[in-house]
Structure 1
Amino acid sequence: MPHSHCHGEHDHDHSNPAELGLQYNLYAKIDKDNLQCLNESIDGSGKTVFKPWENRLDRSEFVESDADEELLFNIPFTGNVKLKGIIVSSEDTNAHPAKLRLFKNKPNMTFDDVSLVADQEIELQKDSEGILEYSPKIVTFSSVSHLTMHFPCNFGAESTKIYYIGLKGEWTPGHKHGVTICTYEARPNLDDHKLKHLDSVTKHIE
């Protein structure tokens, strides 16, 4: 399968590794129970690549694609995230992913959906040390509750391997609107409902 369409311009920074590590803490804000990785060769292995920055060189846990070189991650967060940086680390071989396509707030995407226009496409370079930082568009990724990462191709191998995905940004708790209203109506007061037809005056709630 030709892979030439996967190579192009690179957009990344070489940052100070020590400072970088402190900022890459969004792995702790991922809803791991609901994280999905499609086309992983070993069930559940996709979750293992979201780990502390100091474990990024750990080669014992990684995800490898199964049927072809594509991998698709559906990543729900436990709140809202302003995404500021991404690191993708693999081995220094052709199994390293060559491109990353990002989709914002589109839960449960499948490979049938990847023909959609991505919110951002990033050309990747081989990074076995976990030190190349890619910058998401700040305006686009300023309020992310769900991030989809699609790796469509690698540098020419039959399968893709990823050892570490780092996410940097700011996290704020999510607001779950409507929960209290639902609980109200779950236990209606019948007397209130009977009197509704008498109450046509607009109420001003203080």
Structure 2
Amino acid sequence: MSQTVLITSPTHFTQVLASSRIVVADFYADWCGPCKAIAPVYEQLSSQLSRPGTITFTKINTDNQKDIAQTYNITAMPTFMIFKAGRETKRIRGADPKALDAAVKQLAQEAGKADEDGGAGSAGEGSSSGGMWMGVATPRNYSDITDSVDKLGLDFLNLDGEKGDKRTIFESSRPSALAGKGAAGGKEDWIESDTDEQLMLYIPFQASLKLHSLHITSIPSNSSADDDEDDETPMRPKTLKLYTNRSHILGFDEADDVPATQEIEIKPTDWDAKTGTAKVELRFVKFQNISSLVVFVVDGEGVGEKTRIDRVRLIGETGEKRAMGKLEKIGDEQGE
């Protein structure tokens, strides 16, 4: 008997993503020849590898579930997507049995290893398999939606240009500082403020989001314990002011005159001792249908002159994305 789950609504798909560590999604259409050709391969993988709560195979009819197809920008049939902890990790366009088989079996092997180790990410540092790192566990029923950030539209003020590129804080990799050393190749994978402790981050999104929380990682250098060098050690962010749905970045003076959507103080006890990550809870009702977020780091925790951010993860739900355009059949004709 097939164990594949036929998705009946966006809410249904969200529930499946939240209830299974790995989710494989087959976006198909009844009129698509390549979809029909690869369907037996997909069903065989589902029968062999499905495991409740660990690996779930789903099928999504793009004609019946247009909202889901638009959310994930599905533009060709068939498209297979693989999610880990609710976040997309791989996308396969076309009827490519070898690629699909290899990708799914690799994930099944990783899931088996995680089970042997007692699971990953239940507390403290999250799983880094597949290149995705989480500083703290994702709350139940919500997903990591950081891949919705429009990195080309990012705009930061008072950023030290000699440190890491501003896009680096949205990377899914484990921060190099957790290894006690700088990033590989000497390229720093974090950002710091420049002339003082304040930072202004303008973060646009590719889709309308519902934000539940922010996970902010900050790993100040502890290479010296000398008191006279404390003021040279970058600080962790302390006071944040958040502004939603702005069309551009705010100036520092302008931010003082604009009411914040929410003001937050991160306490020293909020930082996870192992990963240097703080979970910033948001007033969820105020963060619905968000197209952009401005994060104003007002000050830092300590006596330093600069603040540092290694990673930012966005947790919540994705909404409507830009128009997906005309669907096309692909697959059989892709052979070399």
SS of the residue 1:33 aligns to: helix
**Quick one: which amino acid aligns to residue 294 of structure 2?**
T
**Quick one: which amino acid aligns to residue 80 of structure 1?**
S
RMSD of Structure 2 on Structure 1 (CA): 2.4
SS of the residue 2:207 aligns to: strand
Match of 1:58 in 2: 176
Unaligned runs of 5+ in 2: 1-121, 127-135, 178-182, 184-188, 221-232, 324-336
Q: Identify which of 199, 214, 218 aligns with 1:86.
A: 214
Deviation of 1:91 after TM superposition, in Å, equals: 2.0
**TM-score normalized with structure 2 length:** 0.44
Higher deviation after alignment, 159-168 or 41-50 = 41-50
SS of the residue 2:152 aligns to: helix
Matched, 1:38 2:187: no
Match of 1:95 in 2: 235
Distance 2:206 2:278 in 1: 26
Q: Identify which of 16, 41, 46 aligns with 2:123.
A: 16
Q: Identify which of 202, 212, 222 aligns with 1:74.
A: 202
**Quick one: which amino acid aligns to residue 120 of structure 1?**
Q
Deviation of 1:144 after TM superposition, in Å, equals: 0.4
Match of 1:7 in 2: none
Q: How many pairs are equivalent?
A: 160
Higher deviation after alignment, 61-70 or 123-132 = 123-132
Higher deviation after alignment, 86-95 or 98-107 = 86-95
Q: Does the CA contact (< 8 Å) of 1:77 and 1:146 recur in 2? A: yes
Deviation of 1:130 after TM superposition, in Å, equals: 4.4
Unaligned runs of 5+ in 1: 1-14, 177-206
% identical equivalent positions? 28
Q: Does the CA contact (< 8 Å) of 2:210 and 2:316 recur in 1? A: yes
Q: Does the CA contact (< 8 Å) of 1:74 and 1:107 recur in 2? A: no
Match of 2:288 in 1: 142
SS of the residue 2:147 aligns to: helix
Distance 1:89 1:35 in 2: 18
Match of 2:315 in 1: 168
